[in-house]
Amino acid sequence: AQTVTQSQPEMSVQEAETVTLSCTYDTSENNYYLFWYKQPPSRQMILVIRQEAYKQQNATENRFSVNFQKAAKSFSLKISDSQLGDTAMYFCAFMKHARTPGNTGKLIFGQGTTLQVKP
Amino acid sequence: EPEVTQTPSHQVTQMGQEVILRCVPISNHLYFYWYRQILGQKVEFLVSFYNNEISEKSEIFDDQFSVERPDGSNFTLKIRSTKLEDSAMYFCASLDGISYEQYFGPGTRLTVT
């Protein structure tokens, strides 16, 4: 079974600074997807960034980038130039690859990291 | 931009009552999901639904829960006899079969008293 672990329950960062959120996972699959979701106080789940395991290149979306280390089963999220609106809970999630037999597309989430951006 | 919608946003019910949570997934998506998040905790998978049947369910999804797609647009989660521990945020999601990204609705906050 797959597991996702986020070992930092809470983090804080000064506005305009850079912060990195950690995520590790465990799987026997060779191909899969990894995601970061943001959950602001409104509790809406917003997709931040997506990584396919077979792609060597780390995904980037504007100020958000990941450091994907497949051998170490690590998937950290870097937020550059932090903004007050980045204050939220961040969840790392795993999904089996589309072509995995029997895959239903369910997401397995970590426990979440609460990020506070301070002015 | 298409989005997943959920109604109601907040439901208060008494223990033992039945509740139905409603979702309208994105129209061209074929895979649908329900997740649950107890306040302050992680998001937990409940059930996935494809081609008008359950494709996977978790241990949480016991006989008290059921899902249905009664027409071409709605996707519902029914809890037959609610318990206090069913109080949580319930999220519906649908999957883009090309990008394999899941899009979440805004959630329904269920409070069981």
What does the pLDDT look like over A23-74, one tens digit per residue?
Answer: 999 999 999 999 999 999 989 999 999 999 999 899 999 999 999 999 999 9
CA pair distance A117, A88, nearest whole angstrom: 9
For residue A15, give the 3-state DSSP assignment: coil
Least Cα distance to A108 among A27, A20, A11, A8 occurs for: A27
pLDDT of residue A113: 97
CA pair distance B57, A69, nearest whole angstrom: 30
Q: Do B65 and A19 meet the contact criterion of CB atoms below 8 Å apart?
A: no
- The partner residue sitting opposite A112, judged by closest CB among B42, B91, B109, is B42
pLDDT of residue A1: 82
pLDDT in tens, B30-68: 899 999 999 888 899 999 999 889 999 999 999 999 999
Q: Which residues pair with A77 in a beta bridge?
A: A21, A66
- The partner residue sitting opposite A111, judged by closest CB among B42, B89, B104, is B42
Nearest chain A Cα distance for residue B17, angstroms: 25
Count Cβ neighbours within 10 Å for each residue of A59-77 and write b for 16 or more, e otherwise. beeeebbbebeeeebebbb
CA pair distance A35, B5, nearest whole angstrom: 21
